[in-house]
C-alpha cells in the first residue's frame, strides 16, 4: 500500500489515468498562467476549446466504462463544466465498444444454466446498443419480441478499482486546493459510488422497472416495457422490445406533424414532476438514449438501473424553494438553496441571493426578448465558475433531468419558453403534488411554473445560455 492508500498492484492503472488526464489539466491551468505559476494567461480561441473538448472526450472514452459513466453525469453539470466541454461530454452517451459475443454467451450460460439458444429464440449476436455497464441484444421469447441486456463481464471489479483511484486523486487535489469545484467533483464521485453498484444489479433494475410501470399504469402518454421475470437474473435482464426514436432525433416526425414538441415537453415535465415531488421515486438516468418516442407518440422510458428514492424532507425543501422562485423571491429561493445543501460551507447569504437573482432573471425572461436574455446569460457565464454551488445527493441526478427538459425544448424550438409550457401543466397537477407533500389539508399555494424553477434549482438556466452564446463566442474567436 502506498502513502496515498493506493495498493501497489493498482499503480499501473493510476499511471494510465494520470497519463491521460494530467496533460489536459495542465493545458487548462495554462489558460490562466502561461507557465503555470507565473505569466499572463494564454489567449484561447473558441476553436481551440472545441479541439481540446474533443481531446477530452477521446481520453475519457479510452479510460473505460467508469469514466464514460461519470462523464455522462458531468455532462449536465454546467456549474462545474463550461462550454464547449459540456456539450462534448454529452456525446459520450452509448459510445462504448461492444463486448465480444463469446463473452456475452459465457455470461448467459452461467446465468441461465443452459445455452442461450435453448432459452430464447432468434438471439441476435450483434448488439443493438452497447452501454458503459451492459449491452443489449434482440431476441424472441414465446412468440414475443424481447431485448436481452447483459452485464459487461468483469465490469464490477473495474468500476470498484477506478472509483478508488479517482477518489484518491480527487482527495489529493482537495487537500492542496480546497476549491468549491473540487468539492463538487468529490460530491458527484461519492454519489456515483453509492448508486453505480445498484445499477449493475439487473434483478434490482427489473424490480424498479415494474415498480415504475405500476405507478404510471394509468398514464396513456407513457410506455414502460414489460419485464420477463422468469428470464431475469442479476447479470441478465430480459424486457419487452419497444420500438421508438430517440428523443433527440425526432426532426422527421416533427416535420410530418407526428410529434408536437410542446406536447412532448409537457409530458416530460409532468412525468418527472410526479416522480420527484409526488412519488419520491426518480428515474435518474434520463439521457436521450434512454428516452424514445414510439409510433403512437408515447414517451418510452428505458433503463431503470439508476432509480433514486427521494426522502420527504428533500421533496418538501424543494417544494418550498419552488414556491419562492415562482414568487421571484431571490432571498427566499437562496434560503431554499441552503436548506437543500446546495451551497458551499461558509458562503455569505448575500452571495447566494445575487446568484439566484441572475438565475431567476434568465428563467423569467420572455423568449422574444432575445437580446436581453443574451446579456443576462453572458453575465452569468462570466461569473458562473466562481459561484459556490454544490449539488448534493439526489440533486446531482435531478440536474440531469433539468438539463434534458430544457435541452429537448430548445432542440426543436430555439425560442422555447419553459415558463409558458410548464404553467398549465403544473396548474393541472397542483392539488396532486400538494396532497402528496403536505396531505389533503395542506396549503393550496399557486404553483405556476415548474420547468423555469428546475432551471433555477439544478442547472437548466445554464442550458438556456448555450442557445445564445456559441454563435456569438465563435464569431469573436474567428
pLDDT, tens digit, 9 for 90 and up, residues 21-35: 889 888 887 877 766
Helix (H, G, I), strand (E, B) or coil at 148: strand
Helix (H, G, I), strand (E, B) or coil at 394: coil
Return mean pLDDT, the chain: 79
Residue 198 has pLDDT above 60, yes or no: yes
**Which contacts qualify for 174-177: CB closer than 8 Å, 24 or more apart?**
none
Cell 462570466, located at residue: 382
How do the domains of the chain map onto residue ranges?
1-95, 97-130+133-241, 308-477
448 vs 285, higher pLDDT: 285
Structural element, H or E, at residue 376: helix 370-384
Q: Residue 44 and residue 41: Cα distance in Å, rounded?
A: 9
pLDDT band at 310 (very low <50, low <70, confident <90, very high): confident
Measure the CA angle with vertex 65, ends 466 and 276; round to 5°.
Answer: 55
Q: What is the DSSP string of 61-125?
A: HHT-HHHHHHHHHHTT-TTT--TTHHHHHHTTTT--PPPPHHHHHHHHHHHHSS-HHHHSBS--S
pLDDT tens-digit series, residues 214-239: 989 989 999 999 999 999 999 999 99
Cell 433494475, located at residue: 205
Report, as an integer, the average pLDDT of 33-43.
71
Cell 473505460, located at residue: 64
pLDDT tens-digit series, residues 316-326: 887 778 778 77
Residue 335 contacts residue 329 (beta carbons within 8 Å): no
326 alpha carbon, distance to own chain's centre? 24
Helix (H, G, I), strand (E, B) or coil at 141: strand
Q: Residue 134 and residue 180: Cα distance in Å, rounded?
A: 33
Q: What is the dihedral of CA 286, 307, 190, 246, to 10 degrees?
A: -20
Q: Residue 386 and residue 211: Cα distance in Å, rounded?
A: 41
Amino acid at each position: 500500500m502506498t502513502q496515498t492508500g493506493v495498493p501497489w498492484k493498482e499503480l499501473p492503472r493510476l499511471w494510465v489515468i494520470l497519463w491521460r488526464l494530467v496533460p489536459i489539466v495542465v493545458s487548462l491551468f495554462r489558460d490562466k498562467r502561461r507557465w503555470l505559476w507565473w505569466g499572463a494567461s494564454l489567449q484561447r480561441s473558441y476553436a481551440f476549446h472545441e479541439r481540446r473538448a474533443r481531446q477530452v472526450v477521446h481520453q475519457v472514452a479510452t479510460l473505460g466504462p467508469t469514466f464514460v459513466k461519470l462523464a455522462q453525469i458531468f455532462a449536465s453539470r454546467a456549474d462545474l463544466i463550461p462550454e464547449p466541454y459540456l456539450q462534448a461530454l454529452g456525446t459520450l452517451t452509448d459510445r462504448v465498444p461492444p463486448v465480444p459475443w463469446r463473452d456475452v454467451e459465457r455470461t448467459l450460460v452461467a446465468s441461465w444454466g443452459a445455452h442461450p439458444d435453448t432459452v430464447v429464440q432468434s438471439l441476435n449476436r450483434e448488439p443493438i446498443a452497447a452501454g458503459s455497464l451492459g449491452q443489449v441484444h434482440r431476441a424472441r421469447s414465446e412468440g414475443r419480441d424481447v431485448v436481452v441486456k447483459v452485464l459487461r463481464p468483469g465490469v464490477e471489479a473495474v468500476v470498484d478499482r477506478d472509483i478508488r483511484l479517482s477518489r484518491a486523486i480527487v482527495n489529493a487535489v482537495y487537500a492542496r486546493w480546497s476549491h468549491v469545484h473540487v468539492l463538487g467533483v468529490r460530491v458527484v464521485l461519492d454519489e456515483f459510488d453509492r448508486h453505480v453498484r445498484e445499477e449493475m444489479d439487473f434483478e434490482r433494475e427489473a424490480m424498479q422497472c415494474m415498480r415504475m410501470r405500476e405507478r404510471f399504469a394509468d398514464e396513456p402518454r407513457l410506455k414502460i416495457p414489460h419485464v420477463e421475470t422468469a428470464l431475469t437474473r442479476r447479470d441478465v435482464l430480459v424486457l419487452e422490445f419497444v420500438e421508438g426514436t430517440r428523443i433527440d432525433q425526432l426532426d422527421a416526425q416533427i416535420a410530418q406533424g407526428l410529434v408536437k414538441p410542446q406536447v412532448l415537453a409537457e409530458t416530460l415535465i409532468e412525468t418527472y414532476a410526479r416522480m420527484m415531488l409526488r412519488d419520491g421515486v426518480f428515474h435518474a438516468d434520463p439521457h436521450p438514449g434512454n428516452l424514445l418516442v414510439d409510433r403512437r407518440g408515447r414517451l418510452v422510458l428505458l433503463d431503470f438501473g439508476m432509480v433514486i428514492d427521494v426522502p420527504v424532507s428533500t421533496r418538501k425543501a424543494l417544494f418550498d424553494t419552488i414556491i419562492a422562485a415562482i414568487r421571484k423571491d431571490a432571498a427566499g429561493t437562496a434560503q431554499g438553496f441552503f436548506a437543500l445543501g446546495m451551497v458551499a460551507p461558509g458562503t455569505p447569504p448575500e452571495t447566494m441571493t445575487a446568484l439566484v437573482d441572475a438565475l431567476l432573471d434568465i428563467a423569467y425572461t420572455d423568449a422574444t426578448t432575445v437580446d436581453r436574455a443574451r446579456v443576462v446569460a453572458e453575465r452569468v457565464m462570466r461569473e458562473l465558475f466562481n459561484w459556490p454551488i454544490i449539488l448534493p445527493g439526489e440533486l446531482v441526478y435531478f440536474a440531469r433531468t433539468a438539463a434534458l427538459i430544457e435541452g429537448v425544448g430548445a432542440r426543436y424550438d430555439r425560442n422555447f419558453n419553459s415558463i409558458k409550457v410548464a404553467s398549465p401543466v403544473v396548474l393541472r397537477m397542483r392539488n396532486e403534488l400538494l396532497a402528496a407533500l403536505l396531505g389533503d389539508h395542506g396549503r393550496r399555494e399557486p404553483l405556476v411554473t415548474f420547468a423555469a424553477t428546475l432551471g433555477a434549482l439544478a442547472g437548466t438556466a445554464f442550458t438556456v445560455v448555450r442557445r445564445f452564446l456559441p454563435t456569438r463566442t465563435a464569431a469573436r474567436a474567428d
